[in-house]
Amino acid sequence: MAVRETLDLGYARLHVLDATPEGFGADYIRVYIVDAGGPAVAVIETGPAAVADRVAAAVAEAAESRRVEIILTHVHIDHGGGAGRVARILREQGLEARIWAHPRGAPHIAEPAKLWKASQEALGETALLYGEPEPAPAGTVNAASDGMELAIGGARLRVIHTPGHASHHQSILLEPAGAHGERILFPGDSAGMYDPGSQGLAPTTPPPLRLDMYRESLRRMASENPDRIAFTHIGLGPAQLLETHRWQIDVWEETAREALVKGLDPEKTLEVIIERDPYTARLYEKLGGSPHGYRMIINSVLGFMGYIQNLLK
């Protein structure tokens, strides 16, 4: 897997990989490798199992003989489905590899059978495209506490628990070990999905959504004052997108409430959202033509509608 681009942050190099499986129909998943010149390199996400071999090859090339710290924002199979296989391949090549996940998610990386079953029920054919996760090698999976830091040479990575999208979600802040340097936030699915080309932005809010937690997670991430955001879906963007996204989810919530009163289905609700929210409209142009991309967007609508229905019970 070729590196899509490399950013020189001064204190570290950030390699960006495209981890979208063949057949998805749109550019959709990123994996990030952080090399700060220390005894370990860090990998943010692994992508799905379907691309694990290619991701492992790119990571091994970047790591050379160093330890690999794999940090997952959460265990959904488009983000961490390849973690077990990547760790196994690296270990077979003689590299030390550790996986870090939220305490609620870590058991599903060690033994993903229940995760795979739930993924198939939620995603259907898209789950098959992502591929079935394999169990992580014994002793490789670790629980990442809120505020935990990993030092990797001239950089450190700090874990921030950010529930809402999922109870087992965490975000990662990359910052220099010294006083100066750009700070990069990896929000996983806790701040939406963003396409740098079109500047399209939309929520990643499948059921069961906890919108109150999602909002609090956005507030907490914004309070860290990052310089840039490295989205798993789909690329890097400015930190101001956190505020844009806070406005956006207000629009989505209001529209979903009105839709439920009018008896609109999720597809019609999405049409109204697109009319009101230019950021979603732009992202829909990129992803909507792919049945898998469309599923991701409509699942976000379903999350809002389900959350409001639960409030009204």
> Which of these, 10, 32, 5, lies nearest to 153 by C-alpha position?
10
CB atoms within 10 A of CB 199: 15
pLDDT at 140: 98
Structure tokens belonging to residue 171: 């975000």
pTM of the model: 0.97
What tokens were used for 95? 């590299």
- Alpha-carbon distance 175 to 184, whole Å? 7
Distance CA 118, CA 228 (A): 33
* Euclidean distance between CA atoms 243 and 262, whole angstroms: 29
At residue 75 the predicted structure's pLDDT band, cuts being 50, 70 and 90, is very high
* pLDDT tens digit sequence for 99-133: 999 999 999 999 999 999 999 999 999 999 999 99
**Bond prior to 234 in cis (omega within 30° of 0):** yes
For residue range 258-273, list pLDDT tens digits in order.
999 999 999 999 999 9
Phi, psi of 212 (to 5 degrees): -65, -45
pLDDT of 2 above 80 = no
Over residues 290-300, the pLDDT tens digits come to 999 999 999 99
- SS3 state of residue 122: helix
Distance CA 124, CA 143 (A): 29
The DSSP symbol for 48 reads -
Q: Which helix (H) or strand (E) holds 170?
A: strand 170-176
Pairing relationship of beta strands 184-186 and 170-176 according to DSSP bridges:
antiparallel
Q: What is the pLDDT of residue 4?
A: 82
Query: Which of 145, 128, 116 is CA-nearest to residue 21?
Result: 128
Residues in the chain: 313
Q: How far apart are CA 172 and CA 102, in angstroms?
A: 11
Q: Which two tokens mark 163?
A: 């529930």
pLDDT tens, position by position, 186-236:
999 999 999 999 999 999 999 999 999 999 999 999 999 999 999 999 999
pLDDT beyond 60 at 1: no
Rounded mean pLDDT of 7-24? 96
Residue 199 — left, alpha, or beta (φ > 0 → left; ψ -120 to 50 → alpha)? left
What's the token pair of residue 232?
A: 């798993």
The encoded tokens of residue 222 equal: 């914004």
Distance between CA atoms of residues 101 and 168, nearest Å: 8
Give SS3 for 9.
coil
Q: What is the pLDDT of residue 180?
A: 86
Which residue in this structure is represented by tokens 């935990």? 148
| Average pLDDT across the chain, whole number | 96
Task: Report the distance separating Cα 67 and Cα 63, nearest Å.
Answer: 7
C-alpha distance from residue 268 to each of 134, 255, 263, 272 (Å): 38, 11, 10, 7
What is the pLDDT at residue 312? Answer: 83
Q: Which domains does the chain have, with CATH numbers?
A: 3-243 (3.60.15.10)
pLDDT tens-digit map of 156-186: 999 999 999 999 999 999 999 987 899 999 9
> How far, in Å, CA of 26 to CA of 37, rounded?
34
The position carrying tokens 């010149």 is 37
Q: Which residues contact 105 (CB under 8 A, 6 or more apart)?
A: 72, 74, 75, 80, 166, 168
Q: What is the pLDDT of residue 313?
A: 74
Confidence band for 3, pLDDT divided at 50, 70 and 90? low
Torsion sign, CA atoms 97, 73, 28, 111: positive
